[in-house]
Structure 1
Amino acid sequence: MSLEADDCGSNTKSLHFLLVPLMAQGHMIPMVDLARLLAARGAFVTFATTPVNLARIRPIIDRVATSALPIRFVELYFPTMDVGLPDGCESADLIPSVDLFLPFMNALSLLRKPLEAHLHGPDLARWPKPTCLISDNLHYWTADVARTLDIPRLIFHGPSCFFLLCGLLIRQHRDELEAALEATSSGPIMLPGLPHPIRVNKHELTSVMRSDPNWSKYMESVRVAEESADGVLVNSFVELEPWYFERYHKVKGKPVWPIGPLSLYKEELDAKATRGRVSSIDNKLLFQWLDKQKVGSVVLVSFGSMVRNTITQLMELGYGLEASSRPFIWVVTEVAERQVSGVEEWITEFEKRVEGRGMVIKGWGPQILMLGHVAVGGFLTHCGWNSILEAISAGVVMATWPHFYDQFLNEQLVVDVLKIGVAVGVEKPKLFGVGDDNEVAVKVTRGRLRRFWRG
């Protein structure tokens, strides 16, 4: 199935980009921005993903349809239940447990057949043949699709160039880093080959080099496919991390294009409000409340689409916000997903106690617009790269609370290198999802948060 913005004729001389994003909100959102930027420059764009992900960006699809941008949204069947995933589990934030993460990643290659079926479909004749394939680097199987089409393939990286280079250095110095960690038994060690003192712990090493042989097999397929790519796109800009771009380009030995911040795509406010998903709050009421606050007084608290805190940690965070003297907006994804027992009832009572001073968004909020409002002066973030770029673009200082994967290294870039944020003090990652008996329930106490808000 395809959803076309416009019949753009059969101009075979036009560029036609085939985009295949990773099914995760942090990767999907910037790829949608990229699609619109390419189309605005006159290129044809095919954006291929699954039904659930298309439904999430339906407002954008409808807007593209009325704008006549030459973008074709293609629906790819994803056989979740055939591979042991829950029905509708078509995005990383919908994976219910860590045990299903690798099956989800392995199942991505099953998108190849429906994509190739579309590429050989009769409706494609109205458009020129794809001239370039851009896919998330974790879609290693697209290398074969590009070879079949005999077109160049560029890989898209969602994280910072800083993180990408750190990952390369960790793999390069694996043996000495593991030996150093073994010798120290605890505490961080310095990562060699960088101009700034960057510390890595065991969790940084394991996030890059997992010991699970099945995961290692998957990542080896990703590495091989990345080596065969014709170039690399990074959602960042040279002025933010110049040394890292220069060194990463030398190490990769192929073109590396900084194309960010993609969040600065120019569009109307109501379109930005639906960037990623439809807002879970009445935006008119939200911004009426913001307009009443003093300039720079509001703290925005948001942890992205994948972080799931325990009920105990959510309560500690709430009590910390309640005890502070600052107005705040708190985006609580856990309520909408209903994956944390007891959170909905507690949040309802919490809202009554902070009415007037605090605004709670139960689900998805228009983050880029909130950060751009003059009343927002601080951002408590999980250090996802999209969130960091949006805060930097808006000139909002950050309080960093990383949870997993690239977020701890991103924190060091923000706090230690760029010096545009302060760390809340989390040192160890949380496990994927919630409900694991081994997960520490509280990593940041209300007392620490209260002292933090009050400076």
Structure 2
Amino acid sequence: MESQQSHNQLQIIFVPYPTPGHMNPMIATARLFAMHGVNVTIITTHANASTFQKAIDSDFNSGYSIKTQLIQFPSSQVGLPDGVENLKDGTSTEIISKIARGIAMLQDPIEANLFQELQPDCIVTNMMFPWTVEAAAKLGIPRIHYYSSSYFSNCAEHFIMKYRPHDNLVSDTQKFTVPGFPHSIEMTPPQLPFWLRTKKPATAYFETIFESEKISYGTLYNSFHELESDYEKLGSTTMGIKSWSVGPVSAWTNKNDEKKANRGHIEELGKEEEWLNWLNSKENESVLYVSFGSLIRLDNAQIVEIAHGLENSGHNFIWVVRKYERDESENTFLQDFEERMKESKKGYIIWNWAPQLLILDHPATGGIVTHCGWNSILESLNAGLPMIAWPIFAEQFYNEKLLVDVLKIGVPVGAKVNEFWNSTSETVAVKREDIAKAVEILMGSGQESKEMMMRAKKLGEAAKRIIEERGHSYNNLIQLIDELKSLKKSKALGEKAD
């Protein structure tokens, strides 16, 4: 009986891409499928699995059918030390390119697992693995494209790729309007990702990603209906791509988890009481949280501007500074700044890693400075917080437009160039006076600030409501699982008839 039941159970393989912004939401989504009766296998490498294995073991011990299938990362072949398997581990452009090369070499072992060991009914793969379209076709199963950001950004790239409205502009400061959009969205060429701005060797790879989406069974989004319904509709009507929004996935998986904010970093919370006491001493909604995610490395000159901008704003802030940003040349400056903030009690620095969800949910937190990474946006929204938008690279400039121009819950800091960090640069993208001004608008007592806060809280309430039973995201998940079960049955009947 049991083996018959497991045979009938829907088997889905998830293949995440090794960088936090892509991996975290996909793992959360895989866990959701398991929580709704699907037999889930996540294919990844050893070091990447170690970051989420505790959650998987906990789910398995709770009776869910979920496991990880480990494959070897080709560290020695690409000249990397063992354990460096995720783009967040890249401390230079050279190391990042080696990690990317190693990730590309995972195709063969992943396919070997798909064809030889596992018998999936469906594969859900990150957008960065377009080759999985052919793998799914050979197996005769649906391939679901997992897009790790907003409907808005995906629609923007589709239309800009198709019409190239920026090609004939005479200068980089000249604006173009994103074609085909229900809102008037203006951008400049330098805000576009490098591969889209002009033709580059990488352009063909990204074009393959978009082509793979068109011929997939459909696309999964970590988004929700109330957040970007216009662009959800645009994706299905104009672009003709079937999709399911099942987000915010971190809100689902953390709903009943008291340790939701730790994410495997318990050992790094040694000074928890100190930052918590500092936050507890502040008035409600008076603290600005500042974080640039796990990939971005800011150069010394920019860090100095941020410090002065925050200090000059006069508002309370809690700022996450990565260890690798604490190099010798600026160490004294940041140490002196930290001491000064301790004396004034206006600011608090957390080194390297912060329990972001705990801080965002704290009553004293009133806003966030974000790099416009989609996970950070969703986590901020879930806490009902407005944002200062400081995009750096990739699709973050589109997300800024969504926050500022469409949702009206964000203040632009004035970032102008879409550029992945470069450890040798000493550029200042945003000056201290612009930072202080943005902080004042967001955290001040003006009407604009109040309205943004009100809209953000409304979206935060919607984010919580939508994942409950009969909520839009909940219904989408159930509908997709039922659809995949029907496909499995039809395929089995077809094979019997043959």
TM-score of the two chains, using structure 1 as the length reference: 0.87
Distance 1:270 1:343 in 2: 37
1:68 is aligned, of 58, 63, 78, to 63
CA deviation profile, 1:413-449 (whole Å, cap 9, x unmatched):
11111111111112223x323323xx45222233333
Quick check: 1:441 aligned with 2:436? no
Contact in 2 for aligned 1:310/1:435 (Cα 8 Å): yes
Report SS of the residue matched to 1:48.
Answer: strand
Report if aligned partners of 1:279, 1:365 keep a CA contact under 8 Å in 2: no
Q: Distance in 1 between matches of 2:387 and 2:157?
A: 24
CA gap 1:80/1:344 in 2 versus in 1, 3 angstroms: farther
Q: Deviations over 1:45-91 (max 9, x none)?
A: 11111222112224424433443322101222121342355654422
Q: Does 1:51 align with 2:41?
A: no
Q: Are 1:393 and 2:379 an aligned pair?
A: no
Contact 1:80 1:87 in 2 (8 A): yes
User: Are 1:189 and 2:176 an aligned pair?
Assistant: yes
Q: 1:340, 1:434 within 8 Å by CA — same for their partners in 2?
A: no
**Structure 2 Cα separation of the partners of residues 9 and 350 of structure 1:** 64
Counterpart Cα distance in 2 of 1:395 and 1:340: 35
Are 1:228 and 2:223 counterparts? no
Partner SS for 1:115? helix
Alignment match, 1:342: 329
Pairwise CA distance, 1:341: 4.6
Letter in 1 for 2:227: L
Q: Which residue of 1 aligns with 2:457?
A: none
Q: CA deviation at 1:250?
A: 1.8
Q: Distance in 2 between matches of 1:9 and 1:361?
A: 52
Number of the residue aligned with 1:274:
262
* Structure-1 separation of matches of 2:338 and 2:158: 45
Residues 100/211 of structure 1: CA separation in 2 closer, same or farther (3 Å cut): farther
Sequence identity (%)? 34
Distance 2:334 2:61 in 1: 39
- C-alpha distance in 2, partners of 1:12/1:164? 36
Distance in 2 (alpha carbons) for counterparts of 1:348 and 1:411: 32
**2:136 equivalent to 1:153:** no
1:313 aligns with: 302
> Which segment drifts farther, 190-199 or 155-164?
190-199
1: CA distance between counterparts of 2:255 and 2:228? 26
After superposition, what is the alpha-carbon deviation per residue over 1:95-142, rounded to whole angstroms, capped at 9, x for unaligned? 3344565664454342233224444667x6xxxx31110011111122
| Further displaced range: 77-86 or 37-46 | 77-86
Q: 2:398, 2:327 → 1: CA distance?
A: 27
The 5 A counterparts of 1:188-267 are 188-209=175-196, 211=198, 213-265=200-252, 266-267=254-255
Contact 1:278 1:364 in 2 (8 A): no
Contact 1:132 1:152 in 2 (8 A): yes
Between the aligned partners of 2:217 and 2:52, the Cα distance in structure 1 is 29
Picking from 303, 311, 319, the partner of 1:330 is: 319
> Residue type matched to 2:9 in 1?
S
Q: Deviations over 1:27-61 (max 9, x none)?
A: 11111110111111111111111222112224424
Answer yes or no: is 1:138 the counterpart of 2:124. no
| C-alpha spacing 1:173/1:118, structure 2 compared with 1 (3 Å) | closer
Distance 1:297 1:19, change over 3 A: same
- Secondary structure of residue in 1 paired with 2:18: coil
Deviations 1:353-396 (A, max 9, x none): 21244222211212122111111001011111111111112111
Query: Letter of the aligned partner of 1:75 in structure 2?
Result: L
Going from structure 1 to structure 2, the CA distance change for 1:184 and 1:446 (only over 3 Å counts) comes to: closer
SS of residue matched to 1:293? coil
Q: Letter of the aligned partner of 1:445 in structure 2?
A: K
Q: Which amino acid aligns with 1:167?
A: E
3-state SS of 2:428 partner: coil
- Return the alpha-carbon distance in structure 2 between the equivalents of residues 130 and 432 of structure 1: 37
User: What residue is the counterpart of 2:391 in the other structure?
Assistant: 402
Inter-CA distance 313–213: structure 2 relative to 1 (3 Å threshold): closer
Q: What corresponds to 2:420 in structure 1? A: 432
Structure 2 unaligned spans of 5+: 442-498
Distance 1:409 1:211 in 2: 17
CA distance in 1, matches of 2:341, 2:351: 15
- Aligned partners of 1:171 and 1:208 also within 8 Å: no
Partner secondary structure for residue 348 of structure 2: strand
Q: Which moves more between the two structures, 311-320 or 274-283?
A: 274-283
1:162 & 1:303 partners in 2: Cα distance? 21
What is the rounded CA distance, in whole Å, between the counterparts of 2:192 and 2:302 in structure 1? 26
CA distance, structure 2, for counterparts of residue 19 and residue 185 of structure 1: 40
What is the identity, as a one-letter code, of the residue corresponding to 1:274?
N
Q: Aligned partners of 2:172 and 2:17: how far apart in 1?
A: 36
Among candidates 158, 168, 179, match of residue 158 of structure 2? 168
Secondary structure of 2:29's aligned partner: helix
Q: Structure 1 residues 8, 38: CA separation in 2 closer, same or farther (over 3 Å shift)? A: farther
Aligned to 2:292: 303
Tell me what 1:83 maps to: 78
Q: Distance in 2 between matches of 1:445 and 1:68?
A: 53
Deviation at 1:454, TM superposition (A): 3.9
Structure 1 contact 133–152 (Cα < 8 Å) conserved: yes
For the residues of structure 2 that align with 1:187 and 1:277, how far apart are their CA atoms? Answer: 45
Tell me the CA shift for residue 197 of structure 1. 1.8
1:214/1:101 CA distance change after superposition, 3 Å = farther
The answer as to whether partners of 2:123 and 2:136 remain within 8 angstroms in 1 is: yes
2:6 is aligned to 11
Q: CA RMSD in A?
A: 2.7
CA deviation digits over 1:122-167, x for unaligned, max 9?
A: 7x6xxxx311100111111222332233211101001110010010
Kept in 2, the 8 Å contact 1:19–1:45? The answer is: yes
Residues 265-286 of structure 1: CA distance to partner in whole angstroms, max 9, x if unpaired?
1444543112375574344443
Task: Give the distance between the partners of 1:351 and 1:9, measured in 2 at CA.
Answer: 62
Do 1:93 and 1:306's aligned partners in 2 also have CA atoms closer than 8 Å?
Answer: yes
